Amino acid sequence: MKPLNLTLISLALIFLYSISFASALIVNADYVTIYPGEQGKVSLKIENNENFDIESISVGLNLNNLPFSAVGSSEKDVDDIDEDDDDSASFTLKASTDIKPGDYNIPYVIKYTNSKTDEKLEKQGSFGIRVSSKTELDFGIEKTNEVVGKQGKVTLEIINKGLGEIKAVSVEIVSEGFELISKDKIFIGTINGDDTDTASFDVIYKSTSPVLKAKIEYKDFDNKDQVENINIPFKIYTEKEALELGIIKKSNSMIYMGIIVVLMIIWITWRKIKKRRKNNRNKERIWRCKMKG
C-alpha cells in the first residue's frame, strides 16, 4: 500500500476516534424560565455513550460575571455511570433582582475518570436559561375642558411597571357618558419596562359621571398575546360647578357689550343735544338779525 494511502487512512481513523471520544458524554439540560429575584431548578442529564464506565464524576457551573447565584453549591458529584447508562445533576439558580430579562447561557464543566485507564477527562459546554418578566400594568387618566356639553380630550396613560417591554400595544375604547368624535382605536406600539405611553381621544361630555371603558391588547415579553379590560370612572362638572370650582372663568362679554351699548346711547344722546343747541343758537341769531332790521 502506498504511503499516501496509509496516511489518509490513519487520519480518517484518528478523526473517527476523536468523534467517538467527543460523544462519550451527551448532556441535556432542562430549559427553564425564571423571573428576576426568583429561583428555578435546572437538571443536567448526563448520558455515557462510550464503551467504558466512568467514575469520579463532578459537574460544576461557571457563574462568574453572570447575574445568577447558586442556591446551595454550584458543583455536584455524580455516581459512577456505566456505559450506555445515564444519571443527572440538579442545581437551583436564583436570578438577581435587577437582571435584564432575556436568554442566557450558563457554562458548565464535567470532570470524570475513565474506569479502564484511570485517565482524567473533561467536557465543557453550556445550557440556556430564560429570564422572563412579569407584566404589571397600571393606568391613569387625564382630561381637559371637563364641563358637560363641552368638547374636551380624554387621555389614557398606560404605565408599564414591569422590567420587560410589551409590544404591539393598542387601545380601543367604548364611550359611556360621552360622545366620541375621534377614532375609537389607537395603536401605540412598544412600551419599555418602567416607562409609559398615552392614547388620547376627542370627546363631547354628556354626563357628570362618565366611564372610560378600554380594551388594551399587547404582546408580553414572551411574545404571547394578552388582553386587559379596564373601567375607569371619572368626574365631569356642570357649568355652575365648574365656575364655583374655578375650572372655568365666568365670561364678561355681556358686561362689555352692555358698557358699549350704554356708551353708544350716551354718545348719540350727546350728539342730539349738541345739535339741538346749535340749531337753537342759529334760530336766535336769525331772530336778532330780523329785529335789528
User: pLDDT tens for residues 181-211?
Assistant: 999 999 999 999 889 999 999 999 999 999 9
Would you kindly state where each structural domain of the chain is located, as residue ranges?
31-131, 137-245
Q: What pLDDT shows up at residue 197? A: 97
> Quick one: pLDDT band at residue 2, thresholds 50, 70, 90?
low
Distances (CA, A) of 180 to 31, 85, 184, 262: 48, 69, 7, 44
Q: What pLDDT shows up at residue 4? A: 52
Superfamily of domain 137-245: Immunoglobulins (2.60.40.10)
> Quick one: pLDDT band at residue 68, thresholds 50, 70, 90?
very high
Model pTM greater than 0.75?
no
Q: What pLDDT shows up at residue 181? A: 95
Q: CATH top-level class for 31-131?
A: mainly beta
> Quick one: pLDDT band at residue 125, thresholds 50, 70, 90?
very high
- pLDDT surpasses 50 at 88: yes
pLDDT tens, position by position, 227-271: 999 999 999 999 888 788 777 666 555 566 767 777 788 878 877
- pLDDT surpasses 60 at 1: no
* 164 vs 191, residue with greater confidence: 191
Q: What pLDDT shows up at residue 29? A: 87
pLDDT tens, position by position, 8-19: 555 444 444 444
* 215 vs 1, residue with greater confidence: 215
- pLDDT surpasses 70 at 31: yes
